[in-house]
Amino acid sequence: MNSLVKSIMVTTLSAVVMLPTTSLAQEDAKQGIDSNSMKNEMVEEASKDVDLNVIDEREIIVKPKAQHSVSLAKYDVQKKKTEPELADLGLSVVKVSPSKSYEATLHELQRDKAIEYAEPNYVRKEAGGVAARVNDPNFYRQYDLKQINWSSRYVPKSKPITVAVLDCGVIRNHPDLKGKILKGKDYIGTEMTCGHGTRVSGVIAATYNNGIGLSGMNNNVRILPIRASQATSFRSTTIAAGVRYAVKHGAKIINMSFAERKFSRTEADALSYAYNKGVILIASAGNHPNRPVEYPAAYPEVIAVAATQKGSKLSRSTHGKAIDLAAPGKDIFLTDKDRGYAVSSGTSYSAPLTSGLASILLSRHPSLTPPEVEYLMEKGGYIPKAYRTKSGLTHTYGYGEIDVAKAIKAKLPASLSNDVGDSKKRSKEIQLNTTYRNKYDLPGDHDVYKLKLPTSQKVKIEVSQASVMDPVINVNGKIYDRRGPGRNEVARLSLKAGTNYITITEGNSHWSPKSYTLTVK
């Protein structure tokens, strides 16, 4: 990464930055996936503890508010090259001189009333370990495929599914990936020496029944390689640009085998955009057992994957309430950068196993949506007896270790036919002093209710918990999420006369067969 950064010409920033009138953030708000206020709070919270070790070259990402101009010359920062996918949205990347306080400059930018947000350009780390070389590649080494009940008979002959691998690049001439690698995008431009992306791609797409090497999950996959890293570090801006490139070039799944602790609004907006375009997002949870789930896996639209090992036992992996699924990540047999093979460990390889399963489900049923694919994978998950809970959800396995056979046989919930609409047009009208019952039917479900009042008045909105779910209340765009999983959520506020919209979601985008209740008094 440093070689790329050093090669970029740095100029003094004196230009005025303008934002297009139609912004992605506005689209997100209409979709009901997130709110600007909540994202900005997360940006500011993440920025309180500035750690330059996880920030790329003292850089800051700046996004002006809609139809506002910002003169950044007064902040004495230097302009850096911005990926075109982000420059088109009005974003700029600036560098703070070592002679100035990075933290003070960041907070000054955040206080500028013409700026929607300013945040560090974070660096994410790959979530895989060091590879150990082997000389005799063979299917018998792939305990992981046997453990998740994979079989080539589950993969239909169908139109290839495009899976974007956002990583450090993919070796095109590997014999097990012949004909599988699309043109893709290289944001780095230097000689490729990293094998991580080739390992990840082989888990998904290595050709089986070709008499050599190993078996990938799906023969009917094409890998869209997006080179966003020189080696092990991924900048927020390059991640966001790569996600948008993947959407534009037809990816149905984006695999992200890297992780770091800090929230990034730039990444969050790009991932919301991809999700709303129907793209399945899958990421490694991280390799630190004592940390919460890391980003990008921790974003609500992303499927967070923890690691297991042989025998479905837990491996050294990040755990927490945001975990969705688990997959083998210990001693995984892999394609490698020099046309050879290797063994490595980490959630880096749990994620592509899950991406492979998602691609199989799409191969079989191309009309499935991202929440439906995630639900089927989670419905088919396996949790060892010692870790099972009444809710069917744990902080270690999520909904369980993936199981190909069970996921293929799983059915979507019958309750979908009675689900409350997910938009204002499809909202359910409710009355005061009446209790309504519904479910979080699918991952990312958001139920929109409409309350009409003749006059403004104070109300109490209460949502009961459903098992270990985390109820979140959104009232006319304002978020209420104070109590956490397993507890009722309450909002006390004044509502205006006329039509008010109340949206109920689950804080970690989880689903439950149990009902929640909504009451407005």
Tracing tokens 């005025």 back to the chain, one arrives at: 16
The question of whether 345 is a catalytic residue gets the answer no
Among 34, 47, 196, 229, the one annotated catalytic: 196
| CB 316 within 8 Å of CB 287 | yes
Q: Is 395 a catalytic residue?
A: no
Three-class DSSP category at 148: coil
Question: Nearest Cα to 16, choosing from 60, 56, 62, 57?
Answer: 62
Which of left, alpha, beta for 484 (phi over 0: left; psi -120 to 50: alpha)? left
Q: Which residue has the tokens 């020099």?
A: 338
Angle, nearest 10°, between helix axes 102-111 and 36-48? 160
Type of residue found at 10: V
Separation CA 269–CA 244 (nearest Å): 10
Q: Which of 92, 229, 348, 512 is catalytic?
A: 348
The C-alpha R_g of the chain, in whole angstroms, comes to: 23
Amino acid at 13: L
Answer yes or no: 196 catalytic: yes
Tell me the helices (H) and strands (E) count for the chain, helix number first: 12, 28
What residues does 282 pair with on adjacent strands? Answer: 255, 303
* Phi, psi of 16, rounded to the nearest 5 degrees: -95, 130
Phi-psi region of 133 (alpha: psi -120 to 50; beta: other; left: phi over 0): beta
> What is residue 444's DSSP assignment?
T
Q: How far is CA 130 from CA 127, 167, 210, 313, 329, in A?
A: 10, 16, 27, 21, 13
Q: What are the backbone dihedrals phi and psi of residue 123, each rounded to the nearest 5 degrees, phi first?
A: -115, 125
Residues in the chain: 521
Q: Which of 167, 336, 441, 445 is catalytic?
A: 167
Q: Which residues are catalytic?
A: 167, 196, 348
